[in-house]
Structure 1
Amino acid sequence: MTTNLGSPTATDFLDNLKNKTAAAHKNLEQLSVSASILSPDLQIDDYCHYLALMYEVHKSTQEHVFPLLSAIFPDLEERKKMHLIENDLDFLNHKITKSAPVFNHQNLTIPFALGILYVVEGSSLGGRFILKNLETVPVLSNQGGISYFTGYGNKTGSYWKQFLSVLTNYQQEHNVEDEIIKGAVYAFDRIHNHFLNTAKNEN
């Protein structure tokens, strides 16, 4: 079953999800770590720090969220991004240091996990915007070190629509809007804390 994302029911749900996560989303975007990668004077060490932070976000997602959702999303394997960040950091000679799991919620439910994945997948859309800034940095402009932000490439829009269709369909079938929203707010808050509390690794 494919959900019509333009239907009133789907639109109301997605609008509500966006509106109720707006404050948490804004708090994350306002962190200096988040702002640094959009700076016209982007420093490579700040870029590496951001990538290392996002590596832990995706590691936690793939270990704790993906297993719950494997029966719902047939394309989860294609949505894995840890290897892309590893490639970029290898190119930039930056080592990843381990930190605590970003998503350590006990007894995750499927709708709560869907809310987390909504945030993580949504970052791919913003990544296309960030990519334009990265391509102005000399060491990155030859396509090396930017595979994570290149992501799905010209398929980014279609991947996002596919995700929203599955998300909306699940919500309509199970009536779990509140739990999905809670998961999304939790994800934004946990990533915010992760960004705020993880020191930059100088190497």
Structure 2
Amino acid sequence: MSITSGTPVILQRLRSETRPYHDALEQNEFNQSLSAGQASAGATQWFLAKLYGFLKPYEARLDNHSFGPAWDIEQRHRAHLILADVPTNAPLPLCPDMPPLTTWPQLLGAMYVLEGSTLGGQVITRQLAQAGIGSRTYFTGYAEQTGPMWKRFCQLLAEEATPANQAEIVASASLTFQKLHAWINQP
């Protein structure tokens, strides 16, 4: 997707400055096997368990902050969707090394990463369907509302970004990508 002059500066910066971390995260074993058409139900459930371990503490930290109704924070909680996709006895360890999420810009940066993942989830849902793997509740995200929810988030992010906090937003997004990558690649 090309960046146009109508794209808010914060979104331009986030796309360009986090690109290496985004690309590195996408090189994980699950995504590689999925792209190669070699996905398995076991690998999918392992990946989902790793995502749960990151999302659960992330969402708990979101709950420590006040968001206005426009943010739809309750709807943006998605860790519980993973529980429909993994066996009830699946181990779900929590990530012990989360990015700091204490300031508003840190939250916005992390949200950029995790809300953006709903777009990738749409692609993963189609790939899993082609592979005959049913564990797709989480990856389906907001279903037909995925695009509108992403656009609404981007609008709110652009409204909240200022010249004074943009560097911290970008740094938080970069660190979130890195911490998630490290967690997913941890055995």
Common topology (TM > 0.5): yes
Pair 1:98-2:90 in alignment: no
Q: Give the direction of change, closer, same or farther, for the CA distance of 1:146–1:47 in structure 2 (3 Å limit).
A: same
Pick one of 125, 140, 154 that aligns with 1:131. Answer: 125
Bigger-Rg structure (1/2): 1
Whole-angstrom distance in 2 between the partners of 1:136 and 1:130: 10
> How far apart are 1:63 and its partner, in Å?
0.9
Q: Which residue of 134, 147, 153 maps to 2:143?
A: 153
Deviation at 1:195, TM superposition (A): 1.0
Per-residue CA distance 1:142-162 (angstroms, 9 max, x = gap): xxx311111111110000000
* Structure 1: tracts of 5 or more residues without a match: 1-5
The one of 21, 31, 34 aligned to 2:31: 34
Q: 1:78 aligns with which of 52, 70, 75?
A: 75
Aligned-partner residue type, residue 8 of structure 2: T
| Identity rate, percent | 28
Contact residue 102 and residue 191 of structure 1 kept, 8 A: no
Q: TM-score, normalised by structure 1?
A: 0.82
Task: Give the letter aligned to residue 45 of structure 2.
Answer: C
Q: Aligned partners of 1:65, 1:103: CA distance in 2, in Å?
A: 13
CA offset at residue 101 of structure 1? 3.1
Would you say 1:170 and 2:160 are equivalent positions?
Answer: yes
Higher mean C-alpha deviation, range 37-46 or range 17-26: 37-46
Q: Is 1:65 the equivalent of 2:62?
A: yes
- Of 61-70 and 151-160, more deviation after overlay is shown by 61-70
Structure 2 alignment gaps of length 5 or more:
none
Distance across 1 between alignment mates of 2:133 and 2:9:
44
1:179 aligns to what?
168
Give the alignment's TM-score, normalised by structure 2.
Answer: 0.88
Name the CA distance, whole Å, in 2 between partners of 1:7 and 1:171. 17
